[in-house]
Chain A
Amino acid sequence: MKVQQGAQTLSSAGVLVPSRPPGYTRILHALRAFWHVLTLNRKVATGSAIVGFFIVVGLIGPFFMTIDPEATSHLFLTPPAPAHLLGTTVVGEDIFSQLVYGTRTSVFWGLGTGILVTVLSVLVGLVGGYFGGVVDDLLTLLTNISLVLPALPLAIVLAAYFPRGPLTISLVIVCTNWAWQARVLRSQTLSMRSREFVTAARLSGENVWRIIFFEIFPNEIGLVVAGFVSTTIYVVLTWASLEFLGLGDGTIPSWGGILYWAQQAGALGGGLWWWFVPPGACIAVLGAGLSLINFGIDEIADPRLHVERPTKVKKAKKKSAHGNTNKDAVRG
């Protein structure tokens, strides 16, 4: 990896003809590496399959829905039946349809917010870690203060004052959750700053931002991915909690929103299990899928956590032999 970085540096410093391979091979290479990471570890593979399932349902599921999620009908509170796979609500809405549309909202806002949180923490962590000095002191202070302030109460207070809707929830979650990952990335950048390839890039006169985001950042991609996954778990749970508390936009179908309306209609005391069990199960399964990915990443990065099963020792050895590059990537 370092060698590649060096070559890149040289080409941008003086050599006019780029020595890189053409774009499509690099994309193919990246895809192959991505696939390799996915199948490297059983936990990562299972988790990715679960998350992938929800993404596909969120993308194309609503196109297969024949019933509008907000269409009311005279069939109030019917239990699951062929016409309404998961029954109906107190005003006769089809819960299965709400769930599928809700998947789109919850999964994509969840992933999107996870990305936003990650971007902010990468910015703060890398800039602080690379520049050092006053900039770093200020950013570290900000990070540490943000870490000790209680996230959920702060999110509730913010969401209570600002207009309700997915964008508010998203921004509130970004504001309250970026700090942990920023701290991890800062300390990693701090140790990366004095490595040879960074010094080389600096000496060859590269732009500071280019050094930060094209030299250092690719070496931290493993940490960033692991951080993104655990952040997204937290985001999905917090999102559902805030909506369940009634701080979301009640008109957009979402998992937390369904639970909110179920709670408001007294679904619990009425024994309407088909109303509040499915959305919670979806959140739980998506959360479990993301956790699996993270546990898998932990295992790859720290072999001590990996329990070897006696019958599969051979296979595991083979895997780890050509999985070395990825191990490095995950460790940064």
Chain B
Amino acid sequence: MRHLIRRILFYLGAVWVAVTLDFFIPRLAPGDPVAALVGKMSMKGYVSPEMRQTLAATFGLNTTDPLWLQYIHYLNNLVHGNFGNSIQYFPTPVSTLIGQDIGWSIMLGAVAVVISFLLGCFLGIITAWKRGSALDTILSPLMNFLSAIPYFWLALLSLYVFAYLLDWFPLSGGYDSANIDPGWTLDFVGSVIQYAFLPALTLVISSLAGWMLTMRNSMLTTLSEDYVLMAKAKGLTSGRIMLWYAARNAVLPNITGFAIAIGAIVGGQLLTEMVFSYPGIGYALLQAVNQQDYAMVQSIFLIITLAVLGANFLADMLYAVLDPRVRQERSA
């Protein structure tokens, strides 16, 4: 119980740090961002006084309030879910825009993470169990190499080969927006799957190595434990020893990783969405950065951070439930 309270306090502290960073980063940045932005935007078209005010409000430059009062206003706005208005799509509230994008990210990420986790654990178990076999000697170095490839380059290459040269998959987008209307129709779902296949595949390939190597290393440790030797001496079937004695005890680090990966789904595929122009939250963040839509940038960062913190908290709790040693050590 004491462990639980300490962890909750810690994560509340982390949330506070994230929120405060989000408040101070724009105010610490050098120069006058409003003037720079207005100058840039007036080249493209008319800048209305309302837009200028929104800009100033984004940076907290529209008031003469002392900093602490601004900070309290900012916190108050956050608590009421008021993230401000977007500049790119003025005057749509940022929360509406994020609501549209986040579903795409979660769907794509969840499918990729689950497949990658299951496949990676399985391969890790097999390669550790049959260490030194042909499969292990080929797969392990291959995975090492795969994990060193910069992800966005892998994505670019697969896009070039499978979408441009072979024309199996579309080059960009989330669904065939020219011919199909969104809705729960077979056409639409089919189109979404077709468009998500290649991004999901690159995500799986790039994260597979991590799951597999962690599982393999952890499995090698448990395989040399006495209880595995004991199980062998008892004459249990090798499948049972592999899965219920060695793998079951080795999977712990990966379970934690899994919980964290679930949290990272919300913001973790920035590069995927950028390369495939996939309409998720990462793509929105990038566009917001390029358009200098700071309210959007700050809100997306905050949402990503909250998701990650929540997942880390879950992972912590899960670890304590699964591994009694953690509970005892920390509450002692």
Q: Number of B residues whose C-beta is below 8 Å from A?
A: 61
Please report which residues of chain A, range 202-247, place their CB below 8 angstroms from some CB of chain B when the two chains form the complex.
233, 237, 240-241, 244-247
Q: How far is the CB of A41 from chain B (nearest CB, A)?
A: 14
Interface hub of A150, A233, A247 (most chain B Cβ within 10 A): A150
Task: Out of A144, A157, A233, name the residue touching B298 (CB < 8 Å).
Answer: A157
Q: Tell me whether chain A's interface is mostly helix, strand or loop, or mixed.
A: helix
B171 partner residues in chain A, CB cutoff 8 A: 268-269
Q: How far is the CB of B148 from chain A (nearest CB, A)?
A: 4
- Is A120 in contact with chain B by the CB < 8 A criterion? no
Please determine whether B159 and A237 come into contact, CB atoms closer than 8 angstroms.
no
Please report which residues of chain B, range 258-295, place their CB below 8 angstroms from some CB of chain A when the two chains form the complex.
264, 267-268, 270-271, 274-275, 285-286, 289-290, 292, 294
Please determine whether A162 and B29 come into contact, CB atoms closer than 8 angstroms.
yes
Q: How far is the CB of B165 from chain A (nearest CB, A)?
A: 8
B131 partner residues in chain A, CB cutoff 8 A: 307
A295 partner residues in chain B, CB cutoff 8 A: 144
A277 partner residues in chain B, CB cutoff 8 A: 157
A161 partner residues in chain B, CB cutoff 8 A: 25-26, 28-29, 33, 294
A277 vs B153: C-alpha distance in the bound complex, in angstroms? 8
Please report which residues of chain B, range 97-155, place their CB below 8 angstroms from some CB of chain A when the two chains form the complex.
131-132, 136-137, 144-145, 147-153
The stretch among B79-87, B246-254, B302-310 that forms the contact with chain A is B302-310
Please determine whether A149 and B14 come into contact, CB atoms closer than 8 angstroms.
yes
Binary CB contact string for chain A from 276 to 307 against chain B (1 if under 8 A, 0 otherwise): 11011101100110111001000000001101
The stretch among B88-96, B216-224, B318-326 that forms the contact with chain A is B216-224
- Is A18 in contact with chain B by the CB < 8 A criterion? no
Please determine whether B150 and A148 come into contact, CB atoms closer than 8 angstroms.
no
Return the chain B residue nearest A277 by Cβ: B157
The 6 closest A-B pairs by CB, nearest first: A280-B153, A287-B148, A161-B29, A288-B148, A160-B289, A284-B149
Interface residues of A (CB under 8 A from B): 141, 144-145, 148-150, 152-154, 156-158, 160-163, 233, 237, 240-241, 244-247, 259, 263, 268-269, 271, 273, 276-277, 279-281, 283-284, 287-288, 290-292, 295, 304-305, 307
List 8 contacting pairs A-B, 8 Å CB cutoff, sorted by A. Answer: A148-B312, A149-B305, A152-B270, A246-B290, A271-B165, A276-B156, A284-B153, A291-B144
Interface residues of B (CB under 8 A from A): 10-11, 13-14, 17-18, 21-22, 25-26, 28-31, 33, 131-132, 136-137, 144-145, 147-153, 156-157, 159-160, 164-165, 171, 217, 220-221, 224, 264, 267-268, 270-271, 274-275, 285-286, 289-290, 292, 294, 297-298, 300-301, 304-305, 308-309, 312
